[in-house]
Amino acid sequence: MIRRRVVVHGDVQGVGFRWSCAREADRLGVRGWVLNRADGAVEVVAEGEAAAVDELVTWARHGPRHAVVSWAEVTEEAPQGLQDFEIAG
């Protein structure tokens, strides 16, 4: 079990990023959350099996069809045993 926090920068709000991310996380069996930040970025916390979390991080680096991702910051964190994936805020 691993946990990664991804802060995605670019034209990533108002393009269905959170909804698409939640759908992808559900497909992969990843737990965590996604939210729009006040600075215009989208923040994702992903927790689960390493391969599934890595796949969601890779997806977040591109986002949904209408997103324009400039860059993504990825950090490792200690898993917290989350039970589902939520769209926050």
Catalytic residues: 18, 36
Q: What is the rounded distance in angstroms from the CA atom of residue 48 to the CA atom of residue 37? A: 23
Tell me the CA end-to-end span of the chain in Å, nearest whole number: 26
SS3 content of the chain, % helix, strand, coil (to 5): 25, 40, 35
Q: What is the rounded distance in angstroms from the CA atom of residue 77 to the CA atom of residue 80? A: 9
